[in-house]
Amino acid sequence: MFEEVTKSVRVLSASAVEKANSGHPGMPLGTADIGVALFKNELKISNKKPDWINRDRFVLSAGHGSMLLYSLLHLNGYDISIEDIKKFRQIGSKTAGHPEKDFNLGIDITTGPLGQGFATGVGLAVAESYLASVFGREIIDHYIFGIVSDGDLMEGISYEAAELAGVWELGKIIYFFDDNNISIDGKVDKVSITNQKLKFESLGWHVQEIDGHNENQILQSIKLAKQQVSKPSLIIAKTTIGKFSPNKENTSGVHGSPLGDEEFKLFLENIGWNGDPYEHRKEIYEYFEEKRNLDNSKVDKWYEILNKKLNEDEIFKELWAQFINNKISYENLDLKQTAATRVNGGKLLKKIGESNKFIIGGSADLAASTKQIISDNTYSSTNRNGQNLEFGIREHAMAAIVNGINLHSNIFAYGSTFLVFSDYMRPSIRLSSLMDLNSSFIFTHDSIYLGEDGPTHQPIEQLMSLRLIPNIDVIRPSNSIEIQHSYKYLFTKNNKTKVLVLTRQDLQYIDVQVSYEEFITGAYEIAKGKDLTLIATGSELHLAFQIRDVLSDKSVQIISAPILNKFQSNKNKNFTMNNLIFTLELGRSVGWKDYVGNITKSFSVETFGASAPEKDLVKHFEFEAEKIKVEILSFFD
């Protein structure tokens, strides 16, 4: 029966790609055996409770092979119908070209950019191990299965994440490597000589090599992998891409294009298919029924255990309530002193960590500089209970792992480094937003004023480029009550990715009053004035007050815009601006007009920085109140 079911998966996958005249048939045809074996025998998932927290996660890192997943979910009773299969890659369809996270459909993660699924899966495993240490194995105990490709393993992010998985001894990871030696441009061995077995063994992984079309070898490899409790597992499965396509199998031509009319007919003939490719015998569906019934009964049993613990264990009950409610307890600190916002922010984060068990995160070997340390209790292979994560110098993997932790359930996870290195993290930040995750990214050293490290470390375009990503809030507070509000908002569950940007240099405290509700509108009026308007973010709010002081004969309105991307929605609600509008921000000015509207002049930095002390940079880039005053007054002539 196994062969009949894999035949149905292959036919469904190839048919959908053919009907759409778009897609990647090769991978589903090559890995159908692995997929069927997993769903039939191993994956602990529930079609009645698809978002069950203790389900196994399935990461199709090779997301171009999405029809493999859709076919298996359809046959396993998830809410993906034959009509949905027929609408593969069409507008509004449940079956997008690459998997898009939808727990109700059984899709655990958005994948597509290669390497991202691999690395994000490591974050899922971190979350699993952390929650198991908090709640116990009777509540959280599951695996992260995945299928990864040559392309995933060639991307640098997978190497970074793989080493962390080895360091942290994440034995709940079991990845199948679809070793078919084919990529879009031909044979992989033209561009890669890596011995993946030796590489992963050197990274602390348990590695096996099997025939990816042999059911018994697939199942035995999983059994052996599960015995490796302190090592993540890579199962190198030798497969044939486009299997049963008589003229295209084992070629790059079957990777990313439909088979074509003639080849599709030959494929159906070769695989032994008669009749409508969208009509499959009831026995095919019944093949998975026993496993789904078993797993659905496990869900019921799990809730019995959960309710028993809630009734009998008061400490567990309090922790579970904090976890499920997903609301942090928060108290303001007295931070009315001259300090860098990274320093005051670090004090707040540490305080938050004392009373909120479900915030975890860390820095890419820069905790001493960013100051973003949630706890002195560090997560490790021997201490799964630690809230502080040490990522090493791995910004790429850090961002994806943060996504995986947030993706898992109700944990808030953050990652921290210098703002200029957000460029390394951008693909993961973008995917976080695409998945509507509450991932938080805390960046420090936010301007040229980090000083002597020079233009390689001084961010110029990063602030505005991050704002360009849809559905992300970029928060740049001044040293004021805005710091308190920023961290409260950072760990608010609103299905929105957040970026917090902090200074390296000290700033004087600004004693302004703004409610949290007004702060999160994005912009608010600090000082009234009828002659001109100054709009500033972060450290430049201090400069706005200095400019107001030297423009003593003018009436100056000051607006703080700590979340500039929200400015448009807030515009004209709480304040009216003057005809003369000037903006202040130590970065590129491109985009300001889109948020604010007509701008008289932006005082900004349009070139790379320079290596020099802060005081010299202030003069060099003419970010002095007196210099700016002269330019502003020229508009009154």
Q: Is 26 left (phi over 0), alpha (psi -120 to 50) or beta?
A: alpha
Helices 395-408 and 156-167 cross at an angle (nearest 10°) of 70
Task: Give CA 133 to chain center in angstroms.
Answer: 23
Q: How far apart are CA 487 and CA 482, in angstroms?
A: 9
The encoded tokens of residue 233 equal 């597992």
> Are the beta carbons of 478 and 562 closer than 8 angstroms?
yes
CA angle 231, 233, 236 (to 5 degrees): 150
The encoded tokens of residue 340 equal 């860098």
**Residue 519 DSSP SS3:** helix
Residue from 263, 395, 482, 585 carrying the catalytic annotation:
395
Helices (H) and strands (E) in the chain, counts: 25, 18
**Residue 272 DSSP SS3:** coil
3-state secondary structure 81-106: CHHHHHCCCCCCCCCCCCCCCEHHHC
| 169 catalytic per annotation | no
Q: Is 454 left (phi over 0), alpha (psi -120 to 50) or beta?
A: left
- Torsion sign, CA atoms 572, 573, 577, 581: negative
As a 3-state breakdown, the chain gives helix, strand, coil percent values, each rounded to 5, of 45, 15, 40
> Which is it for strands 601-603 and 581-584: parallel, antiparallel or unpaired?
parallel
Residues 6+ apart with CB under 8 A from 148: 61, 62, 117, 118, 158, 175, 176, 177, 178
**Residue 173 DSSP SS3:** strand
Q: How far apart are CA 74 and CA 94, in angstroms?
A: 11
3-state secondary structure 342-383: HHHHHHHHHHHHHHCCCEEEEECCCHHHHCCCCCCCECECCE
Q: How far apart are CA 464 and CA 477, in angstroms?
A: 15
CA nearest neighbour of 66 among 122, 128, 117: 117
CA nearest neighbour of 73 among 115, 118, 53, 43: 43
Q: Catalytic residues, which ones?
A: 395
